[in-house]
Amino acid sequence: MALLAPHHEAVAALSRAYRSPLHVSTCHGRLAELIRFMRWLTAHGVTALEDLHARDCDAYLAHRRYQRDEDGVVVGERGSGTRRLAALIVSDLLNYRELFTADRVPANLRPWAGAAPSAIAGDSHHGGQNKTPPVPDKVFQPVLAAALNLVRVLGPHAVELADEIRAADWDWSTKTDGLKRTTRLPLTEITRVLAEYERAGEPLPLMRQHHIQDRIDAGWPADDPLTPVAFSVLARQAGVAQFHSAWLPALRSPVEATLKVVGAERPFGRAAALVERADGHDAVPWTRPLHREEALTLIGVVRTAVILTLASITGMRASELMELQVGCRQPAEESGPGLVR
């Protein structure tokens, strides 16, 4: 908890505590290793932290260095990251010692002569080059160029698409508040919804292909113009939680009439703005009409491009990127003519 809340008054006073919050996944890894350490100590006769000795730390580090099978036979050596995490746990118990009130490690405990966890783990790349080599330019440059194009050209439209999905979820999803559950045909309400579609010139919503196939398998004619129409969406827009197939005969005439006027289309990304093609030839709609899952996938692609771009131009690590919040970007600062940060 102290790793997550470094500004808490009890943590801020500790001289060797972290000053920036660690990511939840990082803290989860520390907790798992701490539990593993405690179980190992208990199994080896150490039942209180105040009894912890440097030789116990040495023995645990040696235990974590090797991978063993079910019979305890060494079958391989673990990586330096595992050894470093084992050393970090002991270091954490020392650095946060004052937070422990019932039982804590001895104040004079100095395992490994006070060496840093990375040095204890034997990280050969510590202080030098990264163990993972840089991406070659022939791969990195086209990937970054594609990411920049997605961010600059599609990014603003992807934000609008996300807002469109949120609005739809709020207005006519299955979780929308105030929907009535009834088996009575809401003819007046659905007729009103159809009239709004015609007035706006908006196509009726299409179902996803596998749902259309479900209808055909259930006996709907494949050539029926109403088979692909998302009646459940029309019902929710009319304030009804569920569409009943028994209503179809009474609704066929008004729905077919509206369908002839406005047609039917996937619900998201309609009337997409034109953007310049990446090759500079002509302008095209930035997306075709999409179903909800397709729209979310497209937004995810643009988000990945944003993360790749940020990581490339700032050098931020994954844990730092995951800490970014909406609105965290600083306003532009001009330090001189043409020098804007």
Question: 187 with 115, same domain?
Answer: no
Residue type at 190 in one-letter notation? I
- Domain contains 317: no
Question: 14 with 103, same domain?
Answer: yes
pLDDT band at 272; cut points 50, 70, 90? very high
Question: 107 with 21, same domain?
Answer: yes
**Which one of 214, 239, 265 terminates a domain?**
265
- Domain contains 207: yes
Q: Would residue 104 be called left, alpha or beta, if left means φ above 0 and alpha means ψ between -120 and 50 degrees? A: beta
The answer on pLDDT for 6 being more than 80 is yes
Q: pTM surpassing 0.85?
A: no
Torsion of CA 242, 244, 248, 249, to 10 degrees: -140
Asked if 236 contacts 181 with a C-beta cutoff of 8 angstroms, the reply is no
Q: Between the CA of residue 93 and those of 96, 100, 116, what are the distances in Å?
A: 5, 9, 14
- Domain contains 224: yes
How high is the mean pLDDT of the chain? 90
Q: What is the DSSP letter of 240?
A: B
**Which one of 236, 265, 294 terminates a domain?**
265
Vertex 156 angle, CA 202 and 309, to 5°: 145
Residue type at 177 in one-letter notation? D
Count the Cβ atoms, other than its own, within 10 Å of residue 4.
14
Burial 8-19 (b: 16+ CB within 10 A, else e): eeebeeeeebee
Question: 18 with 100, same domain?
Answer: yes
Long-range CB contacts for residues 273-276, cutoff 8 Å, separation at least 24:
273/157, 275/153, 275/154, 275/157, 276/153
What pLDDT digit, counting tens, does each position of 76-104 carry? 888 888 889 999 999 999 999 999 999 99
Residue type at 134 in one-letter notation? P
Question: 20 with 105, same domain?
Answer: yes
- Domain contains 106: yes
- Domain contains 1: no
pLDDT band at 150; cut points 50, 70, 90? very high
Domain that holds residue 254: 171-265
What pLDDT digit, counting tens, does each position of 17-58 carry? 998 999 999 999 999 999 999 999 999 999 999 999 999 999
Residue type at 138 in one-letter notation? K
Q: Give residue 171's pLDDT.
A: 79
- Domain contains 311: no
The answer on pLDDT for 127 being more than 70 is no
- Domain contains 338: no
Encoding tokens for residue 218?
């259930």
- Domain contains 82: yes
Domain count, the chain: 2
Residue 77 belongs to what H/E stretch? strand 74-77
